[in-house]
Structure 1
Amino acid sequence: MGTWIKVASVRPDLFGVTMFGQFTCSLAQVFILGMPSRIASVWFGSEEVSTACSIGVFGNQLGIAIGFLVPPILVPNVEDLDELAHHISIMFYMTAGVATLLFVLVALVFQDRPEIPPTQAQVTARSIPPEQYSYTASILRLLRNRPFVLLILTYGLNVGCFYAVGTLLNRMIIEHYPGEEVNAGRIGLTIVIAGMLGSLLCGIWLDRTKTYKQTTLAIYLMSLVGMLVFAFTLNLGHLWVVFITAGMLGFFMTGYLPLGFEFAVELTYPESEGTSSGLLNCSAQVFGIIFTISQGKVIDAFGTVKGNIFLCVFLFIGTILTGFIKSDLRRQKANKSAAESASVAPSTVQDHGVTTPMTQAQP
Structure 2
Amino acid sequence: MTALTGGYTEVPVHVPPPVEELPQCKVYRRRWLILTVFIIFSLGNAAQWLEYASISNVVTKFYNVSSYAVDWTSIIFMLTYIIFIFPASCCLTKWGLRKCVIVGAGGTALGTWIKCASLDRDLFWVTFVGQTIVAISQVFLLQLPPEVASVWFGSDQVSTACSIGVFGNMLGVALSFLLTPVVVRNHSNMDDVGSDLARLYYFMAGYTTLAFILIVTLFQDKPPLPPSVVVAKRNAAVPEFIAPLKRLFKNPGFNLLMLTYGLSLGIFNAFSTLLNQLVLLYFEDGQEFAGRVGLLFIVGGMVGSVTCGVILDKTHRFKETTLTLYALAAASLLAITFLLASRSHTAVYIAGAVFGISMGSYLPVGLEFGAEITYPESEGTTSGILLAGSQITGVLFTVAYAWLIKVIGDVWANVAMVVVLVVGTGLTAIIKPDLKRQAANMAALHKQKDDEP
TM score, norm. by length of structure 2: 0.73
Residue 76 of structure 1: how far off its partner (Å): 2.4
Q: Aligned runs of 1:86-125 on 2, under 5 Å?
A: 86-125=195-234
Is 2:248 the counterpart of 1:142?
A: yes
Q: In 1, distance between residues paired with 2:443 and 2:225?
A: 19
Q: In 2, distance between residues paired with 1:71 and 1:63?
A: 11
Give the alignment partner of residue 231 of structure 1, picking from 334, 337, 349.
337
**Gap regions ≥5 residues in structure 2:** 1-109
Q: In 1, distance between residues paired with 2:436 and 2:409?
A: 46
Q: In 1, distance between residues paired with 2:167 and 2:183?
A: 24
Q: In 1, distance between residues paired with 2:189 and 2:346?
A: 35
* Contact 2:162 2:364 (C-alpha < 8 Å) held by counterparts: yes
Match of 2:173 in 1: 64
Deviations 1:284-323 (Å, cap 9, x if unpaired)? 1111111111122222222221111110111011111111
Deviations 1:112-143 (Å, cap 9, x if unpaired)? 1111211111011111133xx2x222222211
Deviations 1:39-80 (Å, cap 9, x if unpaired)? 111111111111111111111111111111222222223344
Residue 231 of structure 1: how far off its partner (Å): 1.7
Match of 2:396, as an amino acid?
I
- With over 3 angstroms needed to count, the CA separation of the structure-2 counterparts of 1:91 and 1:244, relative to structure 1, is same
Deviations 1:195-241 (Å, cap 9, x if unpaired)? 11111111111011001111111111111111122223221232211
* Contact 2:159 2:312 (C-alpha < 8 Å) held by counterparts: yes
**Gap regions ≥5 residues in structure 1:** 346-358
Deviant stretches of 4+, over 6 Å:
none
Match of 1:4 in 2: 113
* Contact 2:114 2:126 (C-alpha < 8 Å) held by counterparts: yes
Is 2:274 the counterpart of 1:168?
A: yes
Residue 263 of structure 1: how far off its partner (Å): 0.6
Q: In 2, distance between residues paired with 1:302 and 1:14?
A: 34
- With over 3 angstroms needed to count, the CA separation of the structure-2 counterparts of 1:83 and 1:179, relative to structure 1, is closer
Q: In 2, distance between residues paired with 1:182 and 1:210?
A: 40
Larger deviation, residues 9-18 vs 317-326: 9-18
Match of 2:128 in 1: 19
Match of 1:153 in 2: 259
Give the alignment partner of residue 288 of structure 1, picking from 391, 394, 401.
394
Is 2:304 the counterpart of 1:198?
A: yes
Residue 19 of structure 1: how far off its partner (Å): 0.8
- With over 3 angstroms needed to count, the CA separation of the structure-2 counterparts of 1:275 and 1:95, relative to structure 1, is same
Match of 1:184, as an amino acid?
A
Match of 1:266, as an amino acid?
E
Secondary structure of 1:328 counterpart: coil
Match of 1:74, as an amino acid?
V
Give the alignment partner of residue 182 of structure 1, picking from 276, 288, 305.
288
Q: In 1, distance between residues paired with 2:378 and 2:169?
A: 21
Give the alignment partner of residue 316 of structure 1, picking from 411, 417, 422.
422
Secondary structure of 1:191 counterpart: helix
Deviations 1:125-176 (Å, cap 9, x if unpaired)? 111133xx2x222222211111111111101101111111111212221212
Q: In 1, distance between residues paired with 2:283 and 2:129?
A: 35
Match of 1:121, as an amino acid?
V
Aligned alpha-carbon RMSD (Å): 1.4
Larger deviation, residues 258-267 vs 165-174: 165-174
Q: In 1, distance between residues paired with 2:246 and 2:121?
A: 46
Larger deviation, residues 30-39 vs 230-239: 230-239
* Contact 2:372 2:435 (C-alpha < 8 Å) held by counterparts: yes
- How many equivalent pairs are there? 344
* Contact 2:178 2:294 (C-alpha < 8 Å) held by counterparts: no
Is 2:142 the counterpart of 1:36?
A: no
Q: In 1, distance between residues paired with 2:439 and 2:159?
A: 16
